[in-house]
Amino acid sequence: MKFFCAYIFMKLNIQNETSRLREVILGIAKDNGPVPLLEDAYDPKSREHILNGTYPKEEDMVAELEAFNAVLKKYDVKVHRPKVLNNYNQIFARDISFVIEDKLIIANILPDRKREIEATEHVWNQVEKAKRITLPENCHVEGGDVIPWNDYIFIGTYSGSDYADYITARTNIDAVIAIQELFPEKIVKSFELRKSNTNPKENALHLDCCFQPIGKTKAIIHKNGFLVEKEYQWLVDFFGKENIFEVSKDEMYDMNCNVFSISENVIVSEQNFTRLNKWLKSDGFTVEEIPYAEIAKQEGLLRCSTMPLIRD
């Protein structure tokens, strides 16, 4: 008599940014490698810290990620980690893949970062093959530009003719079109982002660097991150001005928009975000404050470090 064991696949479910989190991939900083050469910097903020001699140390980034990990486990979230690659930056798990509904989309990212995808293969192999999507090569996309929000998918992009000149331009219009085709029942709304290879205060690396929904009806936003004012205004009107926390240029630089929701009521935030954290608490949110200022030196923060797999 033969016995067959049916393989149970992971049941992905991401409808929005704030429903109760159950499973997530969290980046790692172990064996992160030396300080990059200036010509190898992927963003202007990393470039700035390389020039200033203030690029973050591995032990500090490991400690920050473990503080984040402890908060996730406090709320009974199942945490997956990438396999450790030798001398390789694997902090920003959101860049390399993202989930919408029950589909895992493998991002087409900068060629130098393809090994990061391989390091999470043990996770996405748990997903039914038909639910794993790789977009065509002409579609450039990173997860920080993609924000599912119930009936909507918000996507940051840059469509200027000089797209190829910006290492900070990570998601193109071809990807926006492809995601709309994948989810025809959703309303896909794209936003042109401000890009700079050299000035981090004039660069929205991803949409989640200048905008993020929180709770059920609120959002954090930085106006100057948007190239087109009417697109920024659409978001303000959508959420309601009274529900918006406006972030200054310096706060955007510090990554105030890039907090992370464990649920509609619980938000993980950087401990130095004094004005934002005070506003969140006054609105009834539970704010889990952790140190993350060293990781922020690479122009990414809490949302960038995570790739949610399952929310209720």
pLDDT (tens digit per residue) in 260-307: 999 999 999 999 999 999 999 999 999 999 999 999 999 999 999 999
State the average pLDDT over residues 134-139.
90
Q: What is the pLDDT of residue 3?
A: 55
CATH architecture of 21-311: 5-stranded Propeller (3.75)
- Eight-state DSSP code of residue 252: H
Predicted confidence at residue 266, as pLDDT, reads 98
Mean pLDDT across 184-206 = 96
pLDDT for residue 72: 98
Buried b (16+ CB within 10 A) or exposed e, 233-262: eebeebbeeebbbebeeebbbbbbbbbbbb
Helix runs in the chain, H state only: 44-52, 58-74, 93-96, 114-118, 121-124, 173-182, 229-239, 249-253, 274-282
Cross-strand pairs, 104:
99, 132
pLDDT band per the 50, 70, 90 thresholds, residue 103:
very high
pLDDT digits (tens, 9 = 90+) for 11-57: 999 999 999 999 999 999 999 889 989 888 889 999 999 999 999 99
* Percent of the chain scoring above 70 in pLDDT: 96
Q: Which residue in this structure is represented by tokens 């503080």?
A: 67
pLDDT band at 5 (very low <50, low <70, confident <90, very high): low
Q: What is the mean pLDDT of residues 203-219?
A: 97
pLDDT at position 311 over 90: yes
Domain residue extents for the chain: 21-311
Report residue 64's pLDDT band, with 50, 70 and 90 as the boundaries.
very high
Q: Determine the Cα–Cα distance for residues 77 and 89; give it in Å rounded to an integer.
A: 24
pTM, full prediction:
0.94
What share of the chain in percent tops pLDDT 90? 84
- How high is the pLDDT of residue 112? 67
Residue 252 contacts by C-beta under 8 Å, 6 or more apart in sequence?
Answer: 201, 204, 209, 210, 222, 224, 225
